[in-house]
A and B are shown apart, each in its own frame.
Chain A
Amino acid sequence: MQRVRLQVNGSVREAMVEPQLSLLRLLRDELQLTGTKEGCSEGYCGACTVLVDGEPVNSCLFFAVDADHKNVTTVEGLEDAQGRPHPLQSAFVQEGGLQCGFCTPGMLMSAVALLEANPSPDENDVRLAIAGNICRCTGYQAIVSAVVAAAAVVRKQDAQRSARERKPMHSRP
């Protein structure tokens, strides 16, 4: 057993883990964060996608011990401090970007990583970013539309935020 200490969705968590334990099992079984799903356990379906230091990983193939001293974000960490859904979550709801919902948490995490890297993705960029997340229900189109729509919302929010942040600097005497 080995001690790991990591940040999960902003909170410090500690656990004693076997060296072969996956991050997925740590999240689901030890930390009771069951929003992250297990679809294939072999890194192909992407349902278990989480962010480790901002990078999307298949948590089923990522050792828990390798998450030591890292920042992990799961679907449970997407809402803002006031509990408001992330623009991606809202867009998935509005655009019909989910059906059974099992791929959705992983799909969202891949999309979060995409928008961090590329705030203005086109449909093709989105498809490439979620190529490792299999959805059997939707045919992907509604998901792609949702991500493109959410990107516009995020850009607008960022612009407003930076405008707010700039203002006091300019008004400083």
Chain B
Amino acid sequence: MTAMIGKKIPRADALAKVRGQAAYVADLALEGSLAATLLRSPHPFARIKAIDVTRAAKMPGIAAIAFSGNTPAKPLDFGIKDQHLFPREYVRYAGEPVAAIAGDTIEHARAAAAAIAVTYEVLTPVQSIAQALAPHAPLVHPDWQAYEKGANRVLRGNVCGYNRIRRGDVASAFSSADVVVESKFEFSPGIPGYIEPRAAIARREADLGLTVWCGSQSPYSNRDDLAAFFDLPQERVRFINQFVGGAFGGKILMATEWYAAALALQCDRPVRMVWSRQEDGQNVFPRHGGTATFRSGARNDGTLLAMQASFFFDTGAYIGYGSGTALIATMLASAPYRIPNIDLEGTLVYTNKQVAGPVRAPGGPQSTFAKELHLDELARVLAIDPLEFRLHNAWEDGDVSPTGQKLASVSVKETLRRAAEAIGWHQERAAHQGVGIACSWWFSSCGRSQANVEVRADGSVHVSSGNPEVGTGSAAGAIPLIVADRLGVDPHAIVLTLGDTATGTYDGGVGGSASTFSAGQAAKIAADDVRDQLLARAEEALEARRDDIDLHDGTASVRGAPGHAISLAQLASQSGGGAISATGETKEISEPEFDASLVQSHDFASWLAPSFTTSAALVDVDAETGRVRVHRIVTAQDVGFAVNPTGIVGQIEGGAVQALGFALSEELLFGAGGIINTGFHDYLLPTAVDAPKLDAIIVTSPSSEGPFGMKGVGEPPVTTPAGAIGNAIRDAAGAVPYTTPMTPERVWRALRDAAR
């Protein structure tokens, strides 16, 4: 390989960020901007009888009010057409925006919001999965039968998603098993936890187009959705992504962008909507809460025979991007283990709450926590060491996935062994300490992505990618490394343009651990093309054979004759033939084959370039208070090939501490009036003193599909640590709550119940 790929090199945006020069949306000051706010529903469920904005619109300093009465009536399309930009007949969660208001100052806008008269008929809300599924439950969508929906979508009253994976015959396998164990789990909803609240600025342009400054994971698809909704020509709508202060799945769908745009289309000044933390908390797309029931049977020697699992997820008021959670949960439920008989179901349920979304690894932490605690329980009943139990059942090359996909490059046992060794699995420990282990698998995604690479006459190298940099380091870390490597230039000298739709380099966005896999691949293809062109010119200029020419330090030189060289500037100048550029685009990768007869309404049954991850945790439990102290989390993750090790370690370490929050402290609470803890003082993100020592072990078992053999990186490390922590708690104290987060109270109760 090469000079830069795989080396620890600082990301391109690091210096701007430590200098405070990186501009996020709220840092932009467009002259003449209006300030915008929202009027929100105070009720979780109510019929809108009337909305009257006349008084508010006449108030001083008010420029525009957008609401159902003056925005398109068509529904948004997320697979089930169950939502409008502004609610028209019903409000379905407390905090749901009913109108957006733009004024000279935020005080003007707020005063007008208070003057909008909405007449509600308050209805009985559906506040839990149990209530939603009860006979004669109120319907969150009384008109559900009239909704259009996509193929493979299930909609039946308050059930808005259902999938099933079934193989073999679980009933007879259970009857032949030596041991059968059943466990029930509950997961609390959580927030993505980005520190930068959402913000957008929109401005109508003289050509009747629209510019939106945003902090999005997906500026291109946002642009497409916005242009289609407002019937604007797509080429006249420009999304300019700024630096993004964290996203974690929470900034895929538009929020502030919709409202700022709706208002900007009504006036001649830029509209700025910057949410406070509390406002962001009202419109956050939470991680799904829910329940799981697991039942598994094994022989006395530890061989798994059958598993039955059923998940219910609370997806809130609208389908949004929530359906992936149930699809992924079932794909994870029996993996990465060889279980001949499985029956796995995932159900998505409407309630009158905020719209749950695809928070980093949707379904991953929940499903993996439940499955790994459940199987640990089984191992304990069988009196088999949990590590040995996993190694006995774990997949190997040639095994098949739950849906019958043939698996290659299966590294799960290596990740298990390396994580166990690092945590000191077989070492003696103090009585109140324990270790736990948990493993899983995950997918890579290859979305459509384009990149342009250009060497200009002055020798400067310009790279444009549609992939936005949200913090992960794919765009600002991996892409420059890949291009610098192909062209032999300093990665920090590359001029990067990211996530600006005016460049035309499309990208499907950050999500599904896709960024380096897709955008990195597009950059590699473009850079390889530019490299070819540079070498062709250098061949002529240096009168040497291409094979003898090296690109390094911004020059092309003949190997063995260092003085015989020409700079990239000369090669790209007029005399050299002019600037050199190329656009690269991801190649379509056909989905791996699977057995469609094993699945029911499941459209994510085939996983590209699967990866394997194991976490191990060392904890200390205070049995008197139930307080858990996590000392160490080790994660061994198979990344296929490590393009950008600094970024990967950052993903693994950051994922571990997000998972720590999921495991021990993060719990979004709902009361009659909606979310109770919309702030960081009452929603507990882990701090530096909560975070343990972290170890990131990079395993490289290459995929055949990924660029350089890589596999997706961003999501897996948040899926496994909570299971490891839970199992470590039981190892330390003899019991563990099957509810997340495992707060001191829940741990204390679990220990008390076990002692009875």
Contacts and interface: CB of A to CB of B under 8 A. Distances in A.
Contact of A140 (B194, B473, B688): B688
Q: Is the interface of A mostly helix, strand, loop or mixed?
A: loop
A102 B276 contact: no
A35 B38 CA distance: 27
Interface string A101-113: 1111100100000
Contacts of A102: 24, 194-196, 245-246, 471
B472 A37 contact: no
A100 B680 contact: no
Interface stretch (B594-602, B608-616, B652-660): B652-660
Nearest to A130: B688
A139 B694 contact: yes
Contacts of A141: 653, 691, 693-694
Contacts of B654: 99, 136-139
Given A37-B245, A102-B246, A138-B653, A32 B14 contact: no
B24 A44 contact: no
Contact of A100 (B16, B19, B194, B653): B194
B654 to A, nearest CB: 5
A35 B21 contact: yes
B20 A100 contact: no
Interface string A5-17: 0000000000000
Interface string A26-44: 0010001111111111111
Contact of B681 (A42, A88, A92, A144): A42
A51 interface: no
Which of A44, A108, A133 has the most CB atoms of chain B within a 10 A radius of its CB? A44
B679 A89 contact: no
B17 interface: yes
B693 A85 contact: no
A70 interface: no
Q: Is the interface of B mostly helix, strand, loop or mixed?
A: loop
B23 A136 contact: no
B469 to A, nearest CB: 8
A152 interface: no
B292 interface: no
B68 interface: no
A134 interface: yes
B26 interface: yes
A65 interface: no
Contacts of A94: 10
B236 to A, nearest CB: 29
Given A37-B245, A45-B195, A45-B680, A98 B17 contact: yes
B430 interface: no
Interface string B183-206: 000000000011111000000000
Given A74-B20, A100-B196, A137 B689 contact: no
Contacts of B19: 35, 75-76, 78-79, 85, 89
Nearest to A39: B195
A19 interface: no
A142 B653 contact: yes
A36 B480 CA distance: 27
Contacts of A36: 20
B679 A93 contact: no
A143 B20 contact: no
Given A34-B20, A136-B685, A100 B277 contact: no
Nearest to B657: A139
A133 B688 contact: yes
B248 interface: yes
B687 interface: yes
B18 interface: yes
Contacts of B27: 28, 34
B721 to A, nearest CB: 10
A74 B21 CA distance: 12
8 contacts: A35-B20, A38-B26, A39-B196, A40-B681, A75-B19, A93-B15, A134-B195, A141-B693
Given A41-B278, A137-B246, 7 more contacts: A34-B26, A42-B277, A99-B472, A131-B689, A134-B195, A137-B654, A141-B653
Interface of B: 8, 10-11, 13-24, 26-27, 29, 193-197, 243-248, 276-278, 470-473, 646-647, 649-650, 653-658, 679-681, 685, 687-689, 691, 693-694
